[in-house]
Structure 1
Amino acid sequence: IRSRLSVLVYLMLCLLPCVSAKKMRWCTVSHPEQRKCAELAKALVVVLPPASVNAFGRLSCIHASSVTDCINRANRADLVTLDAGDVYSALKEFDLTAVAKEIYSDGSCVLSVAVVRNSSLAMRSLSGLRSCHSGFRWTAGWSLPLGFLLSRNYLSWSKERPLTQEVSSFFNASCVPGSAAMAPHLCALCQGQKSYIRQKNDHCEMSHSEPFYNSHGALRCLSSGAGDVAFVDHLALETIESNERDNLRLLCTDGTQAPLSHYNACHLGRGPGAAVVTRMSVRKVARKFLHTLQMLFGHKGRERHRFQLFNSSPFGERDLLFKDATAELAALPDGADVNQVLGLGYIALLKSLGHEGSTLEDSVVRWCCISHKEQIKCEQWALSIQSDPLVCVRAASMRHCVEKIKRDEVDAVSLDATHVFIAGKCGLVPVVTEYYAEVLPSIVGVAVSKRSSRSIAMGNLAGRRSCHGHMYSPAGWLLPHAHTLSRELNSSSATCDPNQVYSDVFWKGCLPGSEGNLCKVCLGGTGEATTKRCTDNHNERYYGNMGALRCLVGDPGGKNYGDIAFLEQHNLKDNILSLASSGWAEGWASSDFELLCGDGRRAPLSEWEGCNLGVIPPNTVMTRPVLTGRVHDFLMKSQVSMHSQFKLFESQHYGESDLLFKDATRCFVRTSHMDCRAILGEEFYNRVEAAFNCTQSDILQFCSQDMCSPV
């Protein structure tokens, strides 16, 4: 077996390009890491036959003073393993490339946890305490915990001064290894040797020579009594001695504490793990080199009795070269960009924390608009406010807004309840919920038909023409399919996919954002809002509650109409009145329409409380976690400083309804302390989750691709 392995390795290495004949140089950041690297180099020489060593080149270990020094030494070293925060800097600022990700037992993610010794502490009471962090701008020790503190407004940051200054004011003292150059005030608790000679200075450096460096060092900072709280990754918790575990607790986001073993439910966020980076010119050789190391010395390596790649205990430290918790290295595809390596949500977090320095975007709020008329109203809003500048950014649909927020192309949007579910799955969080006061006790979905169409009732809708607000709308897409639309097809039990139900039951219809027969009744847009029919925004004249009503009465020429409309009840009577005032259709009154009840009855519009398809939670403004405080303050200023000539919650002036926000809104209610499930309610949340479990959705696929998972 040994000889066959050698032949295999030899054949593989002979295929390497000529550049592989030089040494591969690994950058180390401490004497223990240098020793482990040197032992790895020796093991390679012993294991590989002379011809293979000559073809592949030997491993050389380059000792640097810190991780930052390794990144800066890109031309003097070839490989180094970096925390995701440093990977971002290496790829964006130094034009390096990632060639492999560390994979742990539960995937490629790390969870950020806050560990304390004091049983009386809570997340909201950390101000004025002493903090220990694994590393400056590191995922678990810096970015995720600060993102959480900012999202809950426990930590305030106006961006008028650097975030590091806000952190140093928030905590009484800290040790944040790697912050010495930019924020020496965050190094007060660090224990490394101080020296004016750079090569001899270990204080607050990202090196194992700093005792409080990395997650294990931050835990050491806590256990020594230097700090009150340690922000570390969950992998480090497994290395805590059993006699010490009972003295430590995790701080949970809900204000409680939990045992160390509960990190899956009690953490501050999830982010990408470490990756190996190299220069673009040697990426192919580096990738094959790492493959060889793992084949020989990984957990399943044929030569692991000689050297263990993911074990640092023989060298008196932890996480040398790689995290000891690494199960394997997963090669990244050639040409993988920073978004593929780190994920859109994480990159947006880094940008929000000023990872790239201050930009113009830091001083504005970018609002997502989905149509020409929403853009006009948004621009009027921008001209009227007396607060932070507002920029209006166009998107094609609510789904597209969610994607743009995830990509850090816009900051916020108000979404209906179904899209709030989608946004939550995409890592976005609530800021405020629209409040409709006593004027609107609840929003319900209803099925409406013309009074003259006496033969139409729930249960005999097969072959009819349908009008739906838009794809994924609660009243137009989610709620109707749960009712018996056609007794012949028994639609409610045949499938749980709303799209399939509507395609089976209706002859044709208008469901903006759909395709096929469910687009054939749609009209498209005209004038400046000209668009192809069935687009998922107000440019489609049959979009939304107003659009579904227009669809029911037909276009001004009396064509392209539906037999039944699924829409929200709250503004139905106002929309009927606006048919004439907007020039769409004359002569229609509320008495010309009736509700279709689930039991087959028909009822006047006034009886909606007993004849509806279900209750719908209010719209909610969603954003990225770190922006909740800023977006909330912006909205509060907007609603109190509006001039009389601009109405934030009025859309009829623009010839539409519910532009940007529902017209029934009276004010905003802060909900940033709640999750999407709590806002939507258990019953509605379970209903929409069940629908999406059997519905193909491009936006949910997009969101799931950005989750941390094995490559």
Structure 2
Amino acid sequence: MQGLKAVLPLLIFVFCVRAKKMRWCTVSDPEHKKCAELAKALVAVLPPAAVAAFARLSCIRASSTTDCIEKIRANRADIVTLDAGEIYSAVKQFGLVVVAKEIYSDGGCILSVAVVRNSSVDIRSLQGHRSCHSGARWTAGWSLPLGFLLSRNYLSWSKEQLLSQDVSTFFSGSCIPGAAAMAPALCTLCQGQKSYIRQKNYHCETSHSEPFYNSQGALRCLRSGTGDVAFVDHLALESIEGSDRDQFRLLCTDGTQAPISHYRTCNLGRGPGAGMVTRANFRKTARKFLTTAQTLFGPRGRERQRFQLFNSSSFGENDLLFKDVTDKLFVLPDDMDVSQVLGLDYVALLKGLGHEGSSLEDSVVRWCCISYAEQKKCEQWALSIKSDPLVCVRAVSMRECIEKIKRDEVDAVSLDATHTFIAGRCGLVPVVTEYYEKERKCVPAEGSTHLETDVLPSVVAVAVAKRSSRSIFIGNLGGRRSCHGHMYSPAGWLLPYRHTLSLEHNSSSPCDPDQVYNSVFWKGCLPGSQGNLCKVCMGGTGEAATKRCADNHNERYYGNMGALRCLVGDPSGKSFGDVAFLEQHNLQANILSLSSTGWADGWTASEFELLCGDGRRAPLSEWESCNLGIVPPNTVMTRPVLTARVYDFLMKSQETLAANPNTEFKLFESQQYGESDLLFKDATQCFVHTSHMTARSILGGEFYSHIESVFNCTHSDILEFCNQDICSIFE
């Protein structure tokens, strides 16, 4: 009682300053009853001065959540709880705002799980089965499972028609509440009452009056034998008790099944949980209401004995007004954009699934270019193919490409091994990997449409010095000038520091490459870095003009070609380094191009030597025994829902260009643009299909673990951006 007295003055102040009527939108009789009980409880516990405000809490009955959204927009209701997929539509299409999010015991997100009772069902062969879904465009019941099926190409989407049309032919029958307007076939298994009067029609509606509505309803659909698979959120699994749990299994992404207790490792993806929406001009009142209701009736509320906000058991249904497993509500500040509330990955997924309708972007592939030369090559590529339109979008570095893909500003880019690791941590997935082996023909195995291989050919990292610099070895590089391909490049940044570069400069923090290079070298050029490791860099000129040390080809000392230029010096012979860390695969061609491009005359391969890790020097031809380590191949990365589209685009490009061998444009040649390795490595022979693989399996366990350990003690802005967890940010 003392605690209640302490909070009452605050509640009176909050609600008497500006009392407003609050109208909660309900979608079933049980929910309406719970809402009415909440209104009574508020009247009972608030003092007379605040009752005037809360006695006017009213419950507005609607036929579905869609009806609620329309009522709130038309000012006939004020607030409703929606699934995250519906929130996006409410914000983008109806101009509503999110005021709060549900937080569960393990954060603000849900996992999508596919539940079955038949041990023979496989996630890879769901076509022709009957499906039960929590709701149309819902996170766990629609967006995440369809995103997964599309990313693996188990479900094909022609793009000439709405996704719902292809889904309706993929399953032999479905109940997807809310999908009646999309495709009638998606409602064939639903069991709600049918009526020509909208207010009395509950068939396939997002209302508890549809027996198969929400995650609990989808499980009911599966239990009854109506459907073969149910797509629900992991929170609904808590309602399956005792011996019943043994009847159900989860479908895992690798084609296996698992007990329902294994949902953390066997699921189809993670997305934001539910939240409350209102009109923009009502958000202040809605926030105050939710804060007070939670203070009084939440799990730790002062009046929880009288009424429990997150418990629906006494009303004959689950998840009324809020999910019953909600731990608390997180009330959001004014300035949060919907992408901050729902997360960049999820918003990009919804756009990819057509939540905003079809647009020109749906038929375009946007490729990320990081320099003037790459843009030129990309535009030539666009003119040379007859597949889907290609749009070339500029960024300043591979890191910015990753960020732009995550933000849905571009679609794809080919990344080196270190950036592939970062992209994987950022939620991007592989499409194809560059294949470098000349001996093997780039043709798919008989009966397959994809070129796949168990072995992905790699390249090697080498350290190169001029033959005339006889005193330079690995081990005595202290005080020298260094040339590195670029920041985070495997050959220029990740691998060299593992060797003892200088006996006199032993780094106290050997797991941070930046610290090692700063302590060992007097100065150098590591594009994308700063301080002394930028002092040898030159910048760009003309149309590629840029400041020194830019992390792209506009910096003339960027990449493998740039590190070689840095070693020999600028055209006047000045501004050079003593050692270059680069990849071996196109070293000979790059040496030849020094003369042909007019950079520096007279250099031949015999005038350079390799520095071996054991302190020896060797001719360039001995790179197999004298190198700094293996570099996994580059990989094209994209957002999960786009893998099939980007793959098809690349295959069509490859076929078109192969069919016209006399065309001037070559996808894997860059010298005519004055650089090397533009868009793809010049050593690439073809693309290998790898969208069924993870970044870890492409890079290899040892290389992946090494990168992981490096970034555990090296600050990285891009990884900081990628590691923002929308699921824990609101806890």
Contact 2:464 2:579 in 1 (8 A): yes
Contact 1:134 1:217 in 2 (8 A): yes
Matched residue, 2:449: none
Q: CA deviation at 1:348?
A: 0.7
Matched residue, 2:446: none
For residues 424-443 of structure 1, the aligned pairs below 5 Å read 424-438=424-438, 442-443=458-459
Find the residue that maps to 1:647 and give its secondary structure. coil
Matched residue, 1:220: 220
Quote the Cα distance in structure 1 between the aligned partners of 2:197 and 2:376: 61
Q: CA deviation at 1:332?
A: 1.4
CA shift in 2, pair 1:398/1:49, >3 Å: same
For residues 226-237 of structure 1, the aligned pairs below 5 Å read 226-237=226-237
Matched residue, 1:671: 690
Contact 2:16 2:49 in 1 (8 A): no
Matched residue, 1:696: 715
**TM-score, length-scaled by structure 1:** 0.98
Q: CA deviation at 1:295?
A: 1.1
Contact 1:21 1:57 in 2 (8 A): no
Quote the Cα distance in structure 2 between the aligned partners of 1:686 and 1:16: 56
Contact 2:20 2:285 in 1 (8 A): no
Q: Say which of 41, 60, 63 aligns to 1:62.
A: 60
Q: Deviations over 1:269-305 (max 9, x none)?
A: 1111111111111212211221111111111111111
Matched residue, 2:450: none
Find the residue that maps to 2:565 and give its secondary structure. helix
Q: CA deviation at 1:143?
A: 0.4
Matched residue, 1:31: 29
Q: Deviations over 1:389-443 (max 9, x none)?
A: 1111111111111111111111111100110001101111000000011469530
Matched residue, 1:302: 302
For residues 205-216 of structure 1, the aligned pairs below 5 Å read 205-216=205-216
Quote the Cα distance in structure 1 between the aligned partners of 2:715 and 2:54: 48
* More divergent stretch after superposition (179-188 vs 359-368): 179-188
For residues 557-572 of structure 1, the aligned pairs below 5 Å read 557-572=572-587
Gaps of 5+ in 2: 441-456
* More divergent stretch after superposition (482-491 vs 627-636): 482-491
Matched residue, 2:704: 685
For residues 465-484 of structure 1, the aligned pairs below 5 Å read 465-484=481-500
Q: CA deviation at 1:8?
A: 2.5
Matched residue, 2:331: 331
Quote the Cα distance in structure 1 between the aligned partners of 2:14 and 2:113: 45
Matched residue, 1:595: 610
Q: CA deviation at 1:507?
A: 1.1
Find the residue that maps to 1:319 and give its secondary structure. coil
CA shift in 2, pair 1:582/1:266, >3 Å: same
Q: Say which of 586, 609, 630 aligns to 2:645.
A: 630
Q: Does 1:14 align with 2:29?
A: no
Matched residue, 1:53: 51
Q: Percent identity?
A: 76
Matched residue, 1:123: 123
Matched residue, 1:376: 376
Quote the Cα distance in structure 2 between the aligned partners of 1:88 and 1:96: 9
Matched residue, 2:88: 88
- Partner AA of 1:79 in structure 2: I
Quote the Cα distance in structure 1 between the aligned partners of 2:401 and 2:545: 20
- Partner AA of 1:199 in structure 2: Q
Contact 1:430 1:620 in 2 (8 A): yes
- Partner AA of 1:352 in structure 2: G
Matched residue, 2:444: none
Q: Does 1:544 align with 2:559?
A: yes
For residues 297-376 of structure 1, the aligned pairs below 5 Å read 297-376=297-376
Quote the Cα distance in structure 1 between the aligned partners of 2:225 and 2:23: 39
- Partner AA of 1:527 in structure 2: G
CA shift in 2, pair 1:208/1:15, >3 Å: closer
- Partner AA of 1:663 in structure 2: D
Gaps of 5+ in 1: none
Contact 1:344 1:407 in 2 (8 A): yes
Quote the Cα distance in structure 1 between the aligned partners of 2:211 and 2:53: 40
Matched residue, 2:293: 293
Q: Does 1:279 align with 2:295?
A: no
Quote the Cα distance in structure 2 between the aligned partners of 1:192 and 1:198: 13
Q: Which runs of 4+ in 1 moved over 6 A?
A: none
Q: Deviations over 1:427-472 (max 9, x none)?
A: 1100000001146953011111111111111122111111111111
Quote the Cα distance in structure 2 between the aligned partners of 1:287 and 1:444: 58
Q: Deviations over 1:41-80 (max 9, x none)?
A: 1111111111122356642111111000111111111211
Quote the Cα distance in structure 1 between the aligned partners of 2:519 and 2:273: 46
Find the residue that maps to 1:246 and give its secondary structure. helix
Find the residue that maps to 1:335 and give its secondary structure. coil
- Partner AA of 1:641 in structure 2: T
Quote the Cα distance in structure 2 between the aligned partners of 1:503 and 1:551: 18
Q: Deviations over 1:77-116 (max 9, x none)?
A: 1211110001101111111111111111111111111011
CA shift in 2, pair 1:495/1:401, >3 Å: same
Matched residue, 2:110: 110
Contact 1:14 1:55 in 2 (8 A): no
Quote the Cα distance in structure 1 between the aligned partners of 2:158 and 2:696: 30
CA shift in 2, pair 1:494/1:697, >3 Å: closer
CA shift in 2, pair 1:539/1:57, >3 Å: farther
Q: Deviations over 1:135-192 (max 9, x none)?
A: 0000000000000000010111121011111001100010000011222221000000
- Partner AA of 2:108 in structure 1: S
- Partner AA of 1:102 in structure 2: E
Quote the Cα distance in structure 2 between the aligned partners of 1:3 and 1:47: 13
Contact 1:525 1:541 in 2 (8 A): yes
Find the residue that maps to 1:265 and give its secondary structure. coil
Q: Does 1:524 align with 2:522?
A: no
Contact 1:112 1:234 in 2 (8 A): yes
Quote the Cα distance in structure 2 between the aligned partners of 1:616 and 1:57: 69
**TM-score, length-scaled by structure 2:** 0.95
Q: Deviations over 1:200-257 (max 9, x none)?
A: 1110000000000000000100010100000000000111132221111100000100
Matched residue, 1:44: 42
Find the residue that maps to 1:609 and give its secondary structure. coil
Quote the Cα distance in structure 1 between the aligned partners of 2:58 and 2:674: 71
Quote the Cα distance in structure 1 between the aligned partners of 2:439 and 2:610: 21
Matched residue, 1:461: 477
CA shift in 2, pair 1:638/1:34, >3 Å: same
Contact 1:177 1:206 in 2 (8 A): yes
For residues 245-256 of structure 1, the aligned pairs below 5 Å read 245-256=245-256
Matched residue, 1:534: 549
Matched residue, 1:621: 636
Q: CA deviation at 1:5?
A: 2.5
Find the residue that maps to 1:705 and give its secondary structure. coil
Q: Does 1:447 align with 2:477?
A: no
- How many residues get paired? 708
CA shift in 2, pair 1:333/1:581, >3 Å: same
Matched residue, 1:177: 177
